[in-house]
Amino acid sequence: MTLTGEYAPAPEITAAPYPTVFGVTLTPTVSGALIAVAGFGLAAYLGTQMVLPALDQMQTLNNNIAQKEADVAQKAAVVKQVNEVVASLNRAKAQNQEVRGLFSTQEALDTLLLDLNQVITKNQARLLKFEPDYAGSGVVSDGSIGPELNGKLKRQVTNISFQGTFPQTLNILKTLDRLQTLLVIQNFTTELKAAPAKDKKPATLINSSFKLVAYVPLTPEELAAAAPPPAEKKENAEPAPQ
């Protein structure tokens, strides 16, 4: 082999050309940018297709839970209101029974003459008059005991007169006050009468006269009968002018 002192030129190594897509050379920088954009796009796609529906479903569930809780709270409030109404009705019924207990009963009024006569006889006095006042009796509608009781009570008025000494009269009135509930004495008058002397001691008798008024609650039948009739509708009523 003959050496001439000259070296043959080294062959040039050329890099492989970058691929080109739609006229864009995919250099490493461009490829990295495209990969990043593709990653963002994939993330956005996954968010749209998976995350957002899950969030919507969670929001729907939260709304349903809130609605259920609101319904339960509303039902609890309704139950509480119903219980309060029932308790109020029970209190009203109890108060009504207590109030009705203050009045006389028809059965007691039917025996009033007998009871009064027994009281007077027991005190050794004398019954002079026991006369029902039909004109003054009837359903209360004059507001004399309060307008709220109009049409709910009836009064029975009796004209009574008896004769006795002062102690006898006082005892009779006290007993009469305890005889029945809510008996009202009206127009009470007294008149002194001289009595024959006993054991040489003059005696003074007192004639007491008054109206005895007893109030009785109306029965359901009496309440229905006392209620005003419903207003009748006019069949051929003319239309109101416009």
**What digits encode the pLDDT tens for the residues 131-147?**
999 999 988 888 887 88
CA proximity to 108, closest of 163, 158, 42: 158
What are the φ/ψ torsions at residue 75 (nearest 5 degrees)?
A: -65, -40
**What digits encode the pLDDT tens for the residues 37-66?**
666 666 666 666 666 676 677 788 788 888
160 pLDDT more than 90: yes
> Which residues does residue 194 pair with via DSSP β-bridges, in sequence order?
204
Q: Of 73-82, 145-154, 206-215, which gets the smallest average pLDDT? A: 73-82
Q: What is the mean pLDDT of the chain?
A: 74
236 pLDDT more than 60: no
Q: Which position has the token pair 């004639």?
A: 207
Residue 168 or 58, more confident? 168
Model pLDDT, residue 215: 85
Model pLDDT, residue 221: 81
Model pLDDT, residue 125: 93
Is residue 206 within a helix (H) or strand (E), and if so which, with residue range?
strand 201-217
Highest mean pLDDT among 120-124, 149-153, 201-205, 235-239: 120-124
Task: Say if CB 214 and CB 155 are below 8 A apart.
Answer: yes
What pLDDT band is residue 112 in, cutting at 50, 70 and 90?
Answer: confident
Model pLDDT, residue 102: 56
Task: Say if CB 178 and CB 202 are below 8 A apart.
Answer: no
Q: Which position has the token pair 């029975």?
A: 156
What is the distance between the terminal CA atoms of the chain, rounded to a whole angstrom?
134
Model pLDDT, residue 208: 93
As a whole number of angstroms, the distance between CA 67 and CA 212 comes to 66
Residue 102 or 67, more confident? 67
- The DSSP-derived string for 109-148 is HHTHHHHHHHHHHHTT-EEEEEEEEEEEEEE--S-TT-GG
Model pLDDT, residue 154: 86
- Average pLDDT (146-157) is 85
What are the φ/ψ torsions at residue 178 (nearest 5 degrees)?
A: -95, -5
Using the Cα atoms of residue 71, residue 76, residue 79 and residue 84 in order, give the sign of their dihedral.
Answer: negative
Residue 32 or 183, more confident? 183
As a whole number of angstroms, the distance between CA 129 and CA 116 comes to 11
